[in-house]
Structure 1
Amino acid sequence: MQQNELKTPYFMIDEDKLIANLEIAKQLKEISGVKLVLALKCFSTWGVFDIIKPYLDGTTSSGPFEVKLGYETFGGETHAYSVGYSEDDVREVADICDKMIFNSQSQLAAYRHIVEGKVSLGVRLNPGVSYAGQDLANPARQFSRLGVQADHITPELFDSINGVMFHMNCENKDAEAFIRLLDSISTQFGQYLDKLDWVSLGGGVFFTWPGYDVEKLGLALKAFSAKHGVQLYLEPGEAIITKTTDLVVTVVDIVENVKKTAIVDSATEAHRLDTLIYNEPASILEADEDGAHQYVIGSCSCLAGDQFCETSFDKPLTIGQRLHIADSAGYTMVKLNWFNGLRMPSVYCQRSSGEIQKLNEFDYADFKRSLSQWSVK
């Protein structure tokens, strides 16, 4: 099977690129002693977990289905966290997770009797400081509901839990900035951390970004762990799968209204939602920023503002031409939806051997079943 034989749209994961990121993760673990658990909210394509499992220590989740997926398909440590558990959620995962992290002291009080003695108990803390490019993704934003603020902590809490979780980063590519956050939580919460077995520092630390000082990060984590006598965890998502995957699309029409728009057989609202939510233009591998031919890369959805980006090419685009929308793994496949009844992208992995492995494909029956299951008379 050759890529040009595959029907677009589709995602193509590159095993070699994935392994390159994982080797950096391995280096960080060796320097720091930190354990790494994959954030399934970012990437849950379990068909490639066989590649990832040898490098990481387990998974972390944001809802009960992710807990079950991590337990069944990844193994290792299974961490369960939710902003708001129901009692049914807690009972559903109590026997299959290793750590259960509650978002508030009230949730811990309500449900600890269900899981006590079965899991290692934790609570999320909100340090009031963070690194995030957009307020929408800022865990320490004003009126944040995420975690317990320092001035709300009941000190006795730390005598009855095993660990805590901080999640205070979003695409933090600056080791120095992360170290400043580490120092801040050590100052604020150090007296409490000294009583615990483990601390999770959450995700959003982009240690696989080109030029990132992995050794500096690793030594800082090692020092923090030694200072407070805790096992540290990071919860990488994007750091593991960044720049590993393209969304491959085909130009189906070219229209002009002052600007030329190449309409492709995909949509941000259905297939690459974060492009729309965060207004972050996609990157097209075939583009040339110095090219003479400028286009809007527009989607085939009916949403007026649904477009991937505006960019330039060295040659005019043609109907039937394929484009590769780069870096399309994180927060994409986990957010796919059926808006407009568009064809859902298939998912493939190009293995190191050159083999193209089909991980999943979707058809009309999947669309129909997602909306109702009972026949209409």
Structure 2
Amino acid sequence: MLNQIDKIKTPFFLIDEKKLIANLEKAKLLKSLSGVKLVLALKCFSTWGVFKIIEPYLDGTTSSGPNEVRLGYEKFGKETHSYSVGYSEEDILEVRKYADKIIFNSESQFLKFYKHVENKSIGIRLNPGISYANQDLANPARPFSRLGVPFEKMTQSLYDNVDGCMFHINCENKNADNFIKSLDYISEKYAYYFDKFKWVSFGGGVFFTWENYDIKKLALALKDFSKRFNIAVYLEPGEAIVTKTTDLVVTVLDIVENQKNTVIVDSATEAHRLDTLIYNEPAQIRESSSNGAYNYVVGSCSCLAGDQFCEANFDKPLEIGQRLHIEDSAGYTMVKLNWFNGLKMPSIVCKRLDNTIDLLKSYDYTDFERFLSDETIR
């Protein structure tokens, strides 16, 4: 007899509420031990159908564009932070309707738009010239970085007129000692300015929900920093909140052989799990086995030659019609979905604590048809 999950057509994202709450409980522990505030990074995860699960644990949302700011305000509530590498005047006029804190990337943007947001809490992004990132593409301190004001470019007039600052220098930093090292460096370098600021955000990429992460050590360091400078501290977790909570469930459509066996599944990295392709980081398949005797490339159904999820071993031969679960498919996936090749867009479902299944979103031809043209506005 088919259960609820079996009745849902693939591909679909399966969010597990139990796993999500487990991450959120770690966030709750970090908050209680450190006194920091946590705002969800919507650029990583914006699936508002599960915001009711997340909202009790966090303090608000942080956004990178006008649509995210509005979504956080309307669907999450609490604090709403806005940062953009480059605002237009139209953006600022929209963002100020919803944001409590508005963070500028440069002094020129601050000077241009300050008059529009004087009644908001204003911040500036700073670039300390150090970072923790495994990929150069995601390294905010890479040479000639456009992200944030370098230390040597700071001006007194700027810092006399902002309330706080933001450092976003981490990407999947899974070790408290690594973070504390950068915190110590920043504390010494910017001590003069911290004494003037009301708040500081250390951005996202601090992976405190990773297995064996020393949350207590991180919490103590953040608490000491806040007390030393009498300043409110924020973190902007995204991946840390949703890591290992969600599978992309796919079906094997075909098996082809060209020196290696490749299974073709009804999904694609370029369309449904873009970071797998961008960062060349192989996906993990739940059904795989490191010692399995049967090796397969898990390939997509797109026309892009290099579009594949991973290469993995299995204990038994795979079969056409079999389902596979591509693990850890929440962060930077649903927010990057696209209609490449006109592929079927994955539905989004949530497995609740009582094992019932809620359909949060489904797509059909109408969504594809109206994606790039809309006759209703002609």
- Normalization by structure 2: what TM-score? 0.98
Q: Does 1:124 align with 2:115?
A: no
Instruction: Output aligned runs, 1:208-247, within 5 Å.
Output: 208-247=209-248
Name 2:181's counterpart in structure 1.
Answer: 180
**Residues 25 and 115 (structure 1 numbering): CA distance in 2 closer, same or farther, change over 3 Å?**
same
CA distance in 2: counterparts of 1:262 and 1:29, whole angstroms: 44
Instruction: Output aligned runs, 1:1-377, within 5 Å.
Output: 2-117=4-119, 119-374=120-375
CA distance in 2: counterparts of 1:369 and 1:164, whole angstroms: 40
Q: In the alignment, residue 7 of structure 1 is paired with which amino acid?
A: K
Q: In the alignment, residue 266 of structure 2 is paired with which amino acid?
A: D
CA distance in 2: counterparts of 1:226 and 1:376, whole angstroms: 55
Q: In the alignment, residue 242 of structure 1 is paired with which amino acid?
A: T
* Superposition deviation, residue 188 in structure 1: 1.1
When structure 1 is superposed on structure 2, of 70-79 and 1-10 the one drifting more is 1-10
* Superposition deviation, residue 214 in structure 1: 0.1
Q: In the alignment, residue 31 of structure 1 is paired with which amino acid?
A: L
CA distance in 2: counterparts of 1:98 and 1:271, whole angstroms: 33
CA distance in 2: counterparts of 1:367 and 1:184, whole angstroms: 49
Q: In the alignment, residue 56 of structure 1 is paired with which amino acid?
A: L
* Superposition deviation, residue 375 in structure 1: 7.6
CA distance in 2: counterparts of 1:57 and 1:307, whole angstroms: 38
* Superposition deviation, residue 36 in structure 1: 0.1
| Percent sequence identity over aligned pairs | 68
Number of matched pairs: 376
Q: In the alignment, residue 95 of structure 2 is paired with which amino acid?
A: V
* Superposition deviation, residue 354 in structure 1: 1.2
CA distance in 2: counterparts of 1:190 and 1:360, whole angstroms: 47
Report Cα offsets for 1:85-136 as digits up to 9, x if no partner: 000000011121100000000000000100102x100000001000000000
**Residues 65 and 313 (structure 1 numbering): CA distance in 2 closer, same or farther, change over 3 Å?**
same
* Superposition deviation, residue 353 in structure 1: 1.3
* Superposition deviation, residue 187 in structure 1: 1.2
* Superposition deviation, residue 158 in structure 1: 1.6
Query: 3-state DSSP class of the match of 1:12?
Result: strand
Unaligned stretches of 5+ in structure 2?
none
CA distance in 2: counterparts of 1:104 and 1:113, whole angstroms: 15
Give the ranges of 4+ consecutive aligned residues of structure 1 lying more than 4 Å apart after TM superposition: none
CA distance in 1: counterparts of 2:97 and 2:75, whole angstroms: 16
CA distance in 1: counterparts of 2:222 and 2:230, whole angstroms: 12
CA distance in 2: counterparts of 1:204 and 1:351, whole angstroms: 27
Report Cα offsets for 1:308-329 as digits up to 9, x if no partner: 0000000000000000000000
CA distance in 2: counterparts of 1:10 and 1:295, whole angstroms: 22
CA distance in 1: counterparts of 2:126 and 2:343, whole angstroms: 41
Report Cα offsets for 1:156-181 as digits up to 9, x if no partner: 22211100000000000010000000
Query: 3-state DSSP class of the match of 1:8?
Result: coil
CA distance in 2: counterparts of 1:194 and 1:363, whole angstroms: 54
**Residues 223 and 375 (structure 1 numbering): CA distance in 2 closer, same or farther, change over 3 Å?**
closer
CA distance in 2: counterparts of 1:104 and 1:375, whole angstroms: 39
CA distance in 1: counterparts of 2:320 and 2:200, whole angstroms: 53
Query: 3-state DSSP class of the match of 2:49?
Result: helix
**Residues 376 and 99 (structure 1 numbering): CA distance in 2 closer, same or farther, change over 3 Å?**
closer
CA distance in 1: counterparts of 2:350 and 2:62, whole angstroms: 23
CA distance in 2: counterparts of 1:143 and 1:231, whole angstroms: 30
CA distance in 2: counterparts of 1:150 and 1:72, whole angstroms: 36
Query: 3-state DSSP class of the match of 2:190?
Result: helix
Q: In the alignment, residue 183 of structure 1 is paired with which amino acid?
A: D
CA distance in 1: counterparts of 2:168 and 2:191, whole angstroms: 16
- Normalization by structure 1: what TM-score? 0.99
Q: In the alignment, residue 42 of structure 2 is paired with which amino acid?
A: L
Query: 3-state DSSP class of the match of 1:23?
Result: helix
* Superposition deviation, residue 355 in structure 1: 1.0
CA distance in 2: counterparts of 1:371 and 1:91, whole angstroms: 26
**Residues 372 and 354 (structure 1 numbering): CA distance in 2 closer, same or farther, change over 3 Å?**
same
CA distance in 1: counterparts of 2:277 and 2:157, whole angstroms: 44
Query: 3-state DSSP class of the match of 1:78?
Result: strand
Report Cα offsets for 1:256-284 as digits up to 9, x if no partner: 00000000000000000000000000000
When structure 1 is superposed on structure 2, of 151-160 and 46-55 the one drifting more is 151-160
**Residues 231 and 321 (structure 1 numbering): CA distance in 2 closer, same or farther, change over 3 Å?**
same
CA distance in 2: counterparts of 1:334 and 1:376, whole angstroms: 25
Q: In the alignment, residue 13 of structure 1 is paired with which amino acid?
A: I
* Superposition deviation, residue 196 in structure 1: 0.6
CA distance in 1: counterparts of 2:237 and 2:261, whole angstroms: 39
